[in-house]
Amino acid sequence: METVAADFLCRQVYIQSVLSAYRQTPGTTGTIRRADRQLAEQLYTRGIPLEAVENAMVLATARRLFRPAEAPALGIIRSLAYFTPVIEEVLEQHVRPTYFQYLRYKIRRSLQTTNSR
């Protein structure tokens, strides 16, 4: 019985962590919908590491932020599903964690610069 409770707790922590990361990702609405919860649960069921999901959000955010100035404006991200292809890409790549740390740093700097204007 304890194993079932522990698994439920792990599942809930994972889902909440994914949804929290999504909510805090720049460029998203910050709103969690039922479909987002279901996708987070599917990611857990598939055994997708939380780190891969978070890294995918970082990679997608960096790609959106660091585009040419003349590129057309992008719309707001309204669903966790937006990140699904990037999650798959992150899983297939063998990128050092330091790269994602670098991207996090660049994103923070960019947002600080934008917010101080």
Identify whether the C-beta of residue 23 lies closer than 8 Å to the C-beta of residue 32.
Answer: yes
pLDDT tens track for 63-79 = 999 999 899 989 999 99
Identify whether the C-beta of residue 59 lies closer than 8 Å to the C-beta of residue 85.
Answer: no
Q: How many domains does the chain have?
A: 1
Return the higher-pLDDT residue of 104 and 7: 104
Write the single-letter amino acid at 81.
Answer: A
pLDDT tens track for 5-46 = 667 679 999 999 999 999 999 999 989 999 999 999 999 999
Range of the domain at 92: 2-115
Rounded to the nearest angstrom, the gap between the alpha carbon of residue 90 and the centroid of all alpha carbons in its chain is 11
Classify residue 39 by burial, with Cβ atoms within 10 Å: 0-12, 13-18, 19+: buried
